[in-house]
Structure 1
Amino acid sequence: MRVRNKPWAEDYIKQHDGIVVLEPSQNKGKWKQAFSHTNRPVHLEIGSGRGGFIQGMGAKNPEINFIGMEVQKNVVVSAIDRVKEAEVENVRLLHENADQLSDIFEENELDTIYLNFSDPWPKNRHEKRRLTHQSFLSQYQQILKADGKIVMKTDNQHLFEYSLVSFSQFGLRLEEVTLDLHATEDPTNVMTEYEEKFTNKGQPIYRCIISNHK
């Protein structure tokens, strides 16, 4: 995703500390308290992009608290604007990398993790950068509750196949495997920007739902 550089992005993020959690490690173990309603489950999207999915999920599911994590600051500002415009009070954003999730989230703290259209990193030498590599899966397993879920969507068949093998070899349970998500209507699905783009081109969208157990 090519993104125009925005020199003002860092200051813009700091100005919206009501939406963006600026020092997320301080919330470790108490993420529910970062929201107005502290008795709701907490869901995390890794790689939230311009925020279309996380904002849509927040609006559609007011009984859940959502966190969108994005490493590119020039993209985070677009997510901020989406959340502001939609006035969803159950969405928070993080300008962070997913490498050290255990520094941000306590064990058993999350109910669901979303991996939407993650970078496939197709070259073998970049395998460890894939968000479904075992090094990431070990972090997900730690911060997810025992019955927590991982929901993955992608248009990349190679990444999807790799991920299914990776999940299985790690010992996670495959609850659902869908090879063409939009072949039938799913009222629970909220599309990302990439998903809309690829679906309009007639490209199949792959989805799997993984159950954590410890």
Structure 2
Amino acid sequence: MRLRKKPWARPELESVPFFITSPKDYKGKWQKAFNNDNPIYLELGCGKGHFVAVHGANHKDINYVAIDIKDEVLVLGKRNIEREFNKVGRKPEENVRLMAQEISLIEEVFDKDEISKIYINFCNPWPKKKHKKRRLTHGNLLKKYKGFLKKNSEIWFKTDDDELFRESQEYFTQNGFHIKYITYDLHESGFEYNVETEHERMFTEMGIKTKFLIAEYFE
């Protein structure tokens, strides 16, 4: 569904200190952006921001960067982040940064060894053969992620799509990642550290199981 342009979204985003207006300016400087040496976790395609909001509010010793492309979606993420931080009496700027960024150009934003973990939650499966290179787990993008991931870091990947999940396993193993955990039914797996996303809740209500894996970068 195409979102209507909301001219008030960008001004609202730029009104808060945890929104990054010029991501490229921070390449190689993300630790300074947070003013600490805590590990930085990256969510690609954060949508309405519930996932990063819960993580950020409850893990103050980890820094989070959340990316999406549409201001109209990010502004909802901004509000969800503020809401979760208010619950615990903290400010989002302590350890969360939100930004609009084309993920295909992600190498312009991060430098070597800046990121300790990547989250990819329910990304577009791009089922047509001619579009598969756009997948966030495709080898073309995994090679870019490796340019800024620390060694022995992880990618946590969740999806409802069977084909995407199966083919993503091949992408990971072909590009220097080791699949250290995998389940075809996350909610029945006993995995303790899941934070449910908006899409995850919707698919669960439809009876669709969540597939999940952890891929470790060990090259």
Output the amino acid matched with 2:170. V
Q: Counterpart of 2:155 in 1: which secondary structure?
A: strand
> For residue 142 of structure 2, what is the aligned residue in structure 1?
137
Output the amino acid matched with 2:19. V
Q: Counterpart of 2:147 in 1: which secondary structure?
A: helix
Equivalent-residue separation in structure 1 for 2:164 and 2:189 (angstroms): 22
- The counterpart of 1:85, out of the listed 76, 83, 86, is 83
Relative to the length of structure 1, the TM-score reads 0.94
Equivalent residues in 2 for 1:183-202, closer than 5 Å: 183-202=188-207
- The counterpart of 1:99, out of the listed 91, 104, 112, is 104
Output the amino acid matched with 2:75. V
Equivalent residues in 2 for 1:160-179, closer than 5 Å: 160-179=165-184
Equivalent-residue separation in structure 2 for 1:185 and 1:148 (angstroms): 22
> For residue 25 of structure 2, what is the aligned residue in structure 1?
26
Output the amino acid matched with 2:33. A
Equivalent-residue separation in structure 2 for 1:35 and 1:108 (angstroms): 16
- Residues 29-69 of structure 1 deviation map (CA, whole Å, 9 limit, x = unaligned): 12122225x12100000000000001011122221111100
> For residue 76 of structure 1, what is the aligned residue in structure 2?
74
Gaps spanning 5+ residues in structure 2: where?
86-91
Equivalent residues in 2 for 1:137-156, closer than 5 Å: 137-156=142-161
Equivalent-residue separation in structure 2 for 1:185 and 1:73 (angstroms): 36
> For residue 56 of structure 2, what is the aligned residue in structure 1?
58
| Alignment check: 8 A CA contact 1:42 1:112 kept | yes
Query: Deviation of residue 2 (structure 1)?
Result: 4.5
> For residue 132 of structure 2, what is the aligned residue in structure 1?
127
Equivalent-residue separation in structure 2 for 1:68 and 1:137 (angstroms): 18
Count of aligned residue pairs for this structure pair: 212
| Alignment check: 8 A CA contact 1:141 1:213 kept | no
Equivalent-residue separation in structure 2 for 1:174 and 1:186 (angstroms): 15
- Residues 55-112 of structure 1 deviation map (CA, whole Å, 9 limit, x = unaligned): 0111222211111000111101001111222233311101111112221111111000
Output the amino acid matched with 1:141. K
Query: Deviation of residue 118 (structure 1)?
Result: 0.3
Gaps spanning 5+ residues in structure 1: where?
none
Equivalent-residue separation in structure 1 for 2:48 and 2:118 (angstroms): 17
Q: CA RMSD for the aligned pairs? A: 1.4
> For residue 120 of structure 2, what is the aligned residue in structure 1?
115
Relative to the length of structure 2, the TM-score reads 0.92
Equivalent-residue separation in structure 2 for 1:59 and 1:198 (angstroms): 25
